[in-house]
Structure 1
Amino acid sequence: MQLLLRDYPRDAWPDHPNFAASIQNWMGAHKMFRQLSEITREETERYLDKDRSPEEFAGRLSYYGDLLVRNLHGHHHWEDLQFFPELRDADNRFDHGLETLESDHLVLDETLNALTEAGNRVIKLIHLDEQQARKEAGALHGSVSRIEQFLKRHLTDEEDLVVPILLHHKLRG
């Protein structure tokens, strides 16, 4: 996965003539996912620390959690069906790396489903049994933390593999 990264190091990407707006937008989506997972974790911590009212937390969790889950599902679905096949066609030396990223997407689906279930449970409990909601929020915090850590690794791996292919083959320009 590191083959082209040596020739196209991360710190040189923005100045590369083939670093197109589409690549910047794709990486911008990754930045948004990192931010949304961080916000969701921090909001859960505020609720657990009683620095956020139950009602306010429920609203913020609904909003940011939904943005995170829906956009991540859509993003990696598009990558698997359209983007990665384009990269395979350009350079099949990276099939194994792309397969690894697609496998990560399967794990991410499971993790996002667990987050959705935990988040929905906490939101329902806030309206039914706030004490139980706080207990369940601990499990939610674990789910959000797992997604945040997973995204830090996965998105960096994805960028380190994909951007050098795009630059090398002048794709997405």
Structure 2
Amino acid sequence: MSDLATRGAIGDDLAYLRATYPQPDWRTHANFGQLADFWLHIHASLRAEAAAVENTLAAFRDGRLDAPAFQRRFVPDLNRFLQHLNAHHQIEDSAYFPKFRALDPRMARGFDLLDADHHAIHDALDRNVAGARTLLAALGGSGPVDRAAADYAGRSRTLLTMLDRHLADEEDLVIPAMLEHGERRVT
């Protein structure tokens, strides 16, 4: 298992169904149903929410948003993203990942990796929240804003790099498994 922040795509030994069910063909497969579509929709929503936070931060750092406007957008956008991501991982950990493990023991190592990713992402989330609090405190006069914004930007970039890798790897495991085994066996 490699470091989520620096690893490339998972290998075919873990994503052993990826070659049989390549991503361009997913939506046209007979077993592609509501759960697979919902899963991809949730991942797209997480990516969009993360991009909104990044765009707000970039607009502030570039001087296109003043501090009050930044706070009005940043705080609710960040909270929405963090809550959505946390809820998604809780559902996967408690419901879906155990079902996939039981469905096909060959998937166990892949889901071990995804579980480890969740822990790494949670740690990065904690660091991200700490950086956001420092940035907001600096905006209130407790420190240099530029330094706090740069620090938060680095923490955010690390988190989003990890999240992008994790979501892609999860899709490479989960969607082909749904296509192979059918959604009824997962729900």
- Quick check: TM above 0.5? yes
Deviates more, 1:160-169 or 1:144-153: 144-153
Match of 1:40 in 2: 53
Residue 46 of structure 1 deviates from its aligned partner by 1.4
- Taking structure 2 as the reference length, the TM-score comes to 0.87
Residue 148 of structure 1 deviates from its aligned partner by 1.6
CA distance in 1, matches of 2:137, 2:39: 34
Match of 1:147 in 2: 159
1:135 counterpart = 2:135: no
Q: Higher helix proportion, which one?
A: 1
CA distance in 1, matches of 2:78, 2:157: 13
Match of 1:168 in 2: 180
| Aligned pairs for 1:1-173 within 5 A | 1-129=14-142, 132-172=144-184
**Quick check: 1:61–1:119 contact (8 Å CA) kept in 2?**
no
Residue 105 of structure 1 deviates from its aligned partner by 0.3
**Quick check: 1:37–1:147 contact (8 Å CA) kept in 2?**
no
Runs of 4+ in 1 over 4 A off after TM superposition: none
Equivalent position amino acid for 1:64 in 2: D
CA distance in 1, matches of 2:41, 2:159: 18
- Taking structure 1 as the reference length, the TM-score comes to 0.94
Task: List gaps (5 residues or longer) in structure 1.
Answer: none
**Secondary structure class of the residue paired with 1:8:** coil
RMSD, matched Cα:
1.4
CA distance in 2, matches of 1:148, 1:38: 9
CA distance in 1, matches of 2:176, 2:98: 16
**Quick check: 1:115–1:143 contact (8 Å CA) kept in 2?**
yes
Equivalent position amino acid for 2:145 in 1: A
Task: List gaps (5 residues or longer) in structure 2.
Answer: 1-13
Residue 31 of structure 1 deviates from its aligned partner by 0.8
Task: Number of aligned residue pairs: give it.
Answer: 172
CA distance in 1, matches of 2:84, 2:15: 28
